[in-house]
Amino acid sequence: MIIRRDLGEAEARLAIDACVAELKRRGKAGVVAVGDSHGELLVLWRTDGCSLPPIVIAQNKVYTAARVRGNSGDLGRDAQKDGSDVHYHGDARYVGWDGGLPVIHDGECLGAVAVSGLTGVEDVEIAQLGVAAILNSL
């Protein structure tokens, strides 16, 4: 039997609160998404003023980070290095942009947090705050 631990509503709320607070502090608009260990969406928050494309991108970053158990941007960088396509996994939901980070606890991926709508660097910085909020609660 395989027993998995997944992020839940309480952890997702912690990440959303931390990331949205930072978006507001920076005066930026963006999307924050949190997913379970399979990368399936638990919650998504789009701040006022954010355009529509980051909605799907944030969902896909969460999916990618949870499925590969790594930074979504690493998948893109690895694909550039070896000339492959990020979709070689057979799933169009995989993306190679920065901003999706796994939540790893005791060596296990519990889910992921993603931010989209800013630069890749800013997306990662803010997603890290969401991951930290979750890990600090465990």
- Distances, alpha carbon 55 to alpha carbons 23, 46, 78, in Å: 15, 7, 24
Model confidence band, residue 80 (pLDDT cutoffs 50, 70, 90):
confident
Comparing 44-53, 76-85, 122-131, the range with the smallest average pLDDT is 76-85
Q: Which fold has domain 9-137?
A: Beta-Lactamase (3.30.450)
CA R_g for the chain: 14
Mean pLDDT comparison of 17-21, 73-77, 89-93, highest-scoring range: 17-21
pLDDT value at position 2?
83
| Assessment of whether the complete model's pTM goes beyond 0.85 | yes
* Distance between CA atoms of residues 44 and 27, nearest Å: 19
Mean pLDDT for the stretch of residues 44-61: 98
Q: Where are the domains of the chain?
A: 9-137
